[in-house]
Amino acid sequence: MLLAGALVIPLAACGFSRSSGSAGANPVVESESFEDSGRRLSGEFVLSHIEDLYRTESNTTAAQTFFSFDEGGSFKRQRNSRMDEGVYLISAKRELVLYVEKINGQPLTEARVEQFVIIEEGADSITLGSGPSLKLMLKKR
C-alpha cells in the first residue's frame, strides 16, 4: 500500500508540467481543436524580449531562442542545444498554435500543443501572449 502511494505522488506531480525548453509555453491542451485561418508565417525569428507581469523586471532572454517558420506549416525552435520541431497553424481566433512533434530529432508519442495569442504583428516582429501575464516578442532575423 505504501509503495502504491509513493508511485501516485510523482505521477500526479508530472501530469501538468510546463515544457522545459521554451519560455512561456502553455501546458498541454487536451483535445482542443483549432480552426485554421490558412495564414502562415515565413522566415527566421529570434525571441528578443520576454515581459512577465508577475516578475518585477522584464528581461531580454538569457539563452537565445530561434524560431524558423515555413509556408508549408512546419516550424523549428532552437534554444541552446535543444531543437523542437513540428507543425503550426494560425487559428481563426488569432492564435499561434505549435504542435511539437520531435525534440532533438526524437519523435514524441503524442504531439505537445503550445498556444499563444497574437497580440501584435508588424513587418519585422510579432508579439505573442501566453497566459494572463506573459508577453514574448519575436523579431525577424
Per-residue pLDDT tens digits for 34-88? 999 999 999 999 999 888 887 766 555 557 899 999 999 999 999 999 999 999 9
The cell numbers describing 13, all together, are 506531480
Work out how many domains the chain is built from and give that number.
1
Residue 70 lies in a domain: yes
88-117: per-residue pLDDT in tens? 999 999 999 999 999 999 999 999 999 999
Residue 61 lies in a domain: yes
Residue 106 lies in a domain: yes
Q: Which residue(s) pair with 79 in the sheet?
A: 65, 82
Residue 60 lies in a domain: yes
Range of the domain at 116: 37-140
Residue 11 lies in a domain: no
pTM across the whole model: 0.72
The DSSP bridge pattern shows strands 43-52 and 65-69 to be antiparallel
Residue 59 confidence (pLDDT): 54
Q: What gap in Å lies between CA 52 and CA 48, rounded to an integer?
A: 14
Computed on alpha carbons and rounded to an integer, the radius of gyration of the chain in Å comes to 16
The cell numbers describing 128, all together, are 505573442
- Location of C-alpha cell 521554451: 22
The cell numbers describing 99, all together, are 504542435
Q: What CATH number did the domain enclosing 135 receive?
A: 2.40.128.280
